[in-house]
Amino acid sequence: MAYSIEGVRILVVEDNTLNQRIVKLMLGKLGAVTTGALNGQEAIDLLVDGAFDIVLMDLNMPVMDGYETTAYIRNVMNSRIPIVALTADEMTGNDGAVIAAGMNAGITKPFDPDQICKLIRTLIDN
């Protein structure tokens, strides 16, 4: 693996508990420090209280979806933290809507570990 995410603090925002566990387990095996949130409001609460390097954001969630949550993070919290959309729909991840919503990139689930490491490293290093 060419890109290390050892010690990178990642907030995984995913309402499907099984998907969240899988993502956290995979990233944890790669050395990342992960925290989970089940919806956008939980993510916002964690971002206020904790320090993260990047957010992996599901788009379709209850309470606040990924688009609403990103808008809040960008416009109310005035945060520039990198946000990556997690989506099961390949078209949604690549259609520009995630960028227009203020996210830095989109990635389709399931994703390749090398691909996510490269993307995370690129975003937090810039």
What pTM was computed for the model?
0.92
Which contiguous run of DSSP H or E holds residue 11?
strand 9-13
- Spans of all domains in the chain: 9-125
Supply angle C-alpha 67, 72, 77, rounded to 5.
145
Using one digit for the tens of pLDDT, what is the confidence trace for 84-120? 998 876 555 556 788 888 999 998 888 888 899 999 9
CATH superfamily for domain 9-125:
Response regulator (3.40.50.2300)
pLDDT above 90 for 41: yes
pLDDT above 90 for 83: yes
Average pLDDT of the segment spanning 17-30: 94
Is 65 in contact with 59 (CB distance < 8 Å)? yes
Cβ-Cβ contacts under 8 Å for 66 (sequence gap 6 or more): 13, 40, 57, 58, 59, 60, 85, 86, 101, 103
